[in-house]
Structure 1
Amino acid sequence: MLKTTVGKLRFAGYFEGISLLVLLFIAMPMKYWFDIPEAVSLVGSIHGALFVTYCIIIAYVTLKTRWNLIWPILAVVVAFIPFGNFILDKKLHQLEKTYG
């Protein structure tokens, strides 16, 4: 997966998607149900760093593969949707064979 340019984006997308799910479904309930706000602070910081890294990788892949504008926009939009990166990953897997 890390051998191709699109594979690097897929790899980053997995971690960004997982961090969003952990933030929404573990850290947020810990904050509001169990009064542990530190969980959101910690996981939110990690998620933020992974999101910024993901966006940088999107820019790198866009420039390297000369994608049209729809793919980077779609990649950023799905980062805000729970499970969005995993759905996009199926399409990126097909594109990986084309763009490398």
Structure 2
Amino acid sequence: MTLDQQVKSFRWISIFEGISFLVLLLIAMPLKYIWNAPEMVQIVGMAHGLLFVAYILGALWLYRKLDWKFSTLMIICISSVLPLGPFYVEKKYL
């Protein structure tokens, strides 16, 4: 896999991680706590968790491959816990 393909893969992981986080916060959590329907949180939460782990591992991988500064890696990792953070990372750093 070339470096361009690795960056493209991380870009897609970043987008999907951001979407899953927004779905979890804006759809699944209200369904659970307002309408007493927790099923969506289980499904979306699992998907988001897997994407979150892939996002962090991908960031660590690209940190080494692209020779990012440590501060850049920290910004990317912190962005993973902000609702729109992965979209910011995708536009600014990829």
| Normalised-by-shorter TM-score class | 0.7 to 0.9
Task: State the superposition RMSD in angstroms.
Answer: 1.6
Distance 1:59 1:3 in 2: 14
The residue correspondences of 1:29-68 to structure 2 (distance < 5 A) are 29-68=30-69
Structure 1 gap segments, 5+ residues each:
94-100
Q: TM-score, normalised by structure 2?
A: 0.87
Q: TM-score, normalised by structure 1?
A: 0.83
2:76 matches 1:75: yes
Deviation at 1:88, TM superposition (A): 2.3
% identity of equivalent residues? 38
2:16 corresponds to: 15
Q: Deviations over 1:63-93 (max 9, x none)?
A: 1111110121111111111111112222124
Deviates more, 1:70-79 or 1:22-31: 70-79
**Residues 10 and 92 in structure 1, CA contact (< 8 A), matched pair in contact too:** no
Q: Deviations over 1:33-52 (max 9, x none)?
A: 11011111111111000000
Deviation at 1:7, TM superposition (A): 2.9
The structure with higher relative contact order (CA 8 Å, sep 6+) is 1
Q: How many residues align?
A: 92
Structure 2 gap segments, 5+ residues each:
none
Distance 2:57 2:87 in 1: 19
